[in-house]
A and B are shown apart, each in its own frame.
Chain A
Amino acid sequence: MRIYETTFIVNPQTDDASIDRDVSSVSNLITADGGKIVYENRMGTRRLAYPIEKLTQGYYTTLVFESESDILPKLERHYKLGGTYMRHLTIRFEGDVSKLGTPQEFGGPFEDSRDHRSRDGRPGDRRPHDNRPGDGRRTEDKPAPAAEPAKAEAAAAPEAKSTPAPAETAETKPVPTEDVKKADDTAPIETTAPDSNEDDEL
């Protein structure tokens, strides 16, 4: 039995019932074959980085499950039949199962919660500039999200690291110009520890 992770995107404009049906059809397929679903994460409606089939938003769902490997061809076939699934990705789960659903769920460092709201017709991201690559400077000015990590249904991000993270990454991020300028006033990198500067002999 191996642990897999599958993420798929469905059209968010259909009604709730059909979305639930799409999601449960996948999970039913897994359980019917003797698999066990370890974790389900409905990431909700998010803006896509590029339009897929003319749509600009998608409803994301992630399932982490444990199953025999013969589920994979069946899963792939299920995704491909019909036009319901815009995108899908199935991989072996590489993270830490015990960390699922906790603030450290994303091995990733960094941020504040993404706070994906439940589907109510609005885009999942509150801020319009989200999902735009390279917009790193915006990621540093959020004190607020530290207060709302618990909101996300399952996908909270590490709040403990949200404060030191911006300060550090602001420094380490070499990326152009405007980003660096903004980050310059933060504390110096810790690696340049002034241990050698303390001359007692003076």
Chain B
Amino acid sequence: MVKMRRRKFCYFCENKISYIDYKDERSLRRFVNERGKIIPRRTSGNCAKHQRALTNSIKRARMIALMAFESESFR
């Protein structure tokens, strides 16, 4: 069971990134698991604001086929 890790910091806050581009698929991929699902905030450590923006960007990337909606895991 993963408890809320208070140590974890928001990647975007840490690097003072204000705009998360949906076209930057390589970066967005870090926040998505093997199946292509978006990683929850309690695991990724993002703050609420950036998690929302990130989710939005990922969804846009999916629409424009830069990211998959779902993919096979590597098993």
B interface residue count range (under 10 / 10 to 19 / 20 to 34 / 35 or more): 35 or more
- Cβ-defined contact, B26 with A111, below 8 A: yes
- A134 interface hit (Cβ, 8 Å): yes
Q: How many angstroms from the CA of A107 to the CA of B12 in the assembled complex?
A: 10
Q: How many angstroms from the CA of A130 to the CA of B18 in the assembled complex?
A: 25
Contact with B along A75-93 (1 / 0, CB 8 A): 0000000000001010100
Query: Hey, which bits of chain B sit against chain A, CB under 8 A?
Result: 2, 7-9, 11-12, 14-15, 17-21, 23-30, 32-36, 39, 43-45, 60, 62-69, 71, 73-74
- Of the candidates B19, B43, B62, the one whose C-beta lies within 8 Å of that of A49 is B62
- Cβ-defined contact, B12 with A109, below 8 A: yes
Query: Hey, which bits of chain A sit against chain B, CB under 8 A?
Result: 7, 9, 43, 46, 48-50, 52, 58, 62, 87, 89, 91, 94-96, 105-111, 114, 130-136, 139, 155, 157, 161, 165, 168-169, 172-176, 189, 191-192
- Cβ-defined contact, B65 with A89, below 8 A: no
